[in-house]
A and B are shown apart, each in its own frame.
Chain A
Amino acid sequence: MRDLKRIIVSGEGGQGIQVISKILATAAYMSGKKMLYVPNYGVEQRGGASLGFVQISNEEIGFPKFQNVDILVILAARAIPRVREYITKDTLIVHDETLVSKESLKDIPNQKISVPALKIAEEKMTGKVMNMIVLGFLADIVGGISIDSLKEAVNERLEGKYKANPELKHFNERALEIGMAGMKEALV
């Protein structure tokens, strides 16, 4: 039986949308799954909507893109018009209320989870790690991705930055843990 999860991470340039998409795929691979990731790309170099398409499965994945999304992460309101076409009645929508208001999603009747990632990041660490909290949370929803794989995939990607800023490693790992624990700890 094919167990396939189709995920779109969407937002705007500068939020690290492609970074977390690629790390999610890498961590899934490290946890023993099959995966394929493809970014959207266009002629614009900065700003504009950014979408990462990730597929995670127990079997080989064929086409890099897909029509129907299972888990849709929206981190900027400007991405909403670009992702509508992928939503089905079964799509689970994950957003951050500080970045994408409930109001802006009110005409989408789907199940939604609002994660206060930016708020937690700013209060507990730095706003920069918002995307790592989202990544941890997303990995938990997808399932079968270990925290160690996530940390390893993040380390691999950000090794260079960590040398210049060792504190960032600590923050990122903490952010991943908070995200993966469903932010329960941070919310109390």
Chain B
Amino acid sequence: MATQTKTNTVLMTGNQAVVKAALAVGADMFSGYPITPTTEILQEWAKEAENNKDLIFLQTEDEPAAGFVMIGGVSMGKKAWTATAGVGNVLMQDPLSMAEAMRMPVVTYIGQRGGPSTGTVVYSQQELNLTRMGGNGEGLRIVYAPCSLQELYDLTIKAFNTAWKYRFPTFILSDGYLAKSYGEVDLWDVKKSDIVPTESAFLNPKTSPNNIRNCFSQEPELYDQLLKDFDDFAKMSEEVAESETLGDKKSQILVCAWGVVANSAKTAIEELQSQGISVKLFRPITMRPFPAEALQKAAEGVTDILITESANGQFGRIVRETLYGVSEAEIHRLYKPAMGVMPEEIQTRIKEIKK
């Protein structure tokens, strides 16, 4: 979508990179409630808003209020977004479910922390189920999973554009390690023509007066609405689902990992490669829609699959469901709920599998 123009490399944290990306793609409203490890998003946006009267900032009394305010902004054509984590992500599901029902292109940044409940304030990949499928609905959402500081910037820009193009709630599913990491980020300029414009759902003269519903009196009314939304979601999926397959394409060992753990796996397979052990890596970039076909292709001719994640199989279930009846490879698991997965551990497991 957006093409890279002028480059401008700066040292910053993950949270700062996300705010810079939101500004670069024209976000103009933020409502939120602070929670570690995403509090700096509020702080950075508040600082920006202090110096720019075109930016709206509201710290609400809790996460549901922040989410509903965001929906209010988006419905009036504001490029509104929020950031949350952990129990905040749980509380945010009420407005996010409403955004699904009303097809509101809200953008939510999640910095996963350990769970259940308050858990740790640090890190996990345990908010995958919640972010993909949370709420009392069918997960009509788009979820991007950055694996590096640079991707936090790149995919946040993409998330806003995808949200406004297809009108589904869109997420940047990050984690505490990425949020707090400090390193170089290329803050490339987004061309104006590459920014998907916003539109008010209520003030559009073509559709106004407009009745956008999240409440139906008859079952068939809701059913018809859902079928239409599923149809749109399927069409969108073909264009949006994204992944990468790295390493030796002919290898019989496939590692499946996502987010920052995929970056750990990249380091591991490069190291193994230098030792003469060939491995390939499949990494979804969109966790929803899930790039199922690409995974099935990556698994062709593979005898062993290592699934690794910082959760107890939330990602593993998606992989196994996608490969059910397609691949007969043996499944190995390296699940470390709420813990980092280091490159060394992945290397050791692959060497064990090789034996």
Contacts and interface: CB of A to CB of B under 8 A. Distances in A.
A164 B196 CA distance: 47
A35 B149 CA distance: 12
Given A29-B11, A63-B341, 15 more contacts: A2-B270, A22-B182, A25-B183, A29-B183, A35-B183, A35-B184, A38-B181, A43-B121, A62-B148, A62-B264, A64-B180, A64-B181, A66-B342, A67-B342, A67-B344
Interface string B1-39: 000000000010000000000000000000000001100
Nearest to A60: B148
B344 A41 contact: no
B267 interface: yes
Category for how many chain A residues contact B: 20 to 34
A182 interface: no
Contacts of B340: 63-65
Contacts of A38: 177, 180-182
Contact of A64 (B36, B121, B178): B178
B310 to A, nearest CB: 11
Nearest to B184: A29
B184 to A, nearest CB: 6
Contacts, number: 68
Given A35-B183, A62-B343, A67-B345, A41 B178 contact: no
SS class, residues of chain A in contact with chain B: loop
Contacts of A39: 180
A63 B178 contact: no
A62 B344 contact: no
B41 interface: no
Contacts of B342: 63, 65-67
A65 B175 CA distance: 13
A91 to B, nearest CB: 14
A131 interface: no
A81 interface: no
Given A37-B183, A64-B177, A64-B178, A42 B122 contact: yes
Contacts of A172: none
B136 interface: no
Interface in A29-87: 29, 34-43, 61-68
Contacts of B149: 36
Given A63-B264, A63-B340, A36 B181 contact: yes
B344 A36 contact: no
24 contacts: A35-B183, A36-B149, A36-B182, A36-B183, A37-B183, A38-B180, A38-B181, A38-B182, A43-B121, A61-B183, A62-B263, A62-B267, A62-B343, A63-B261, A64-B177, A64-B178, A64-B180, A64-B260, A65-B177, A65-B340, A66-B343, A67-B342, A67-B345, A68-B344
Nearest to A37: B182
A13 to B, nearest CB: 16
Given A41-B121, A41-B122, A26 B264 contact: no
Interface in B164-209: 177-178, 180-184
Interface in B262-279: 263-264, 266-267, 270-271
Contacts of A66: 342-344
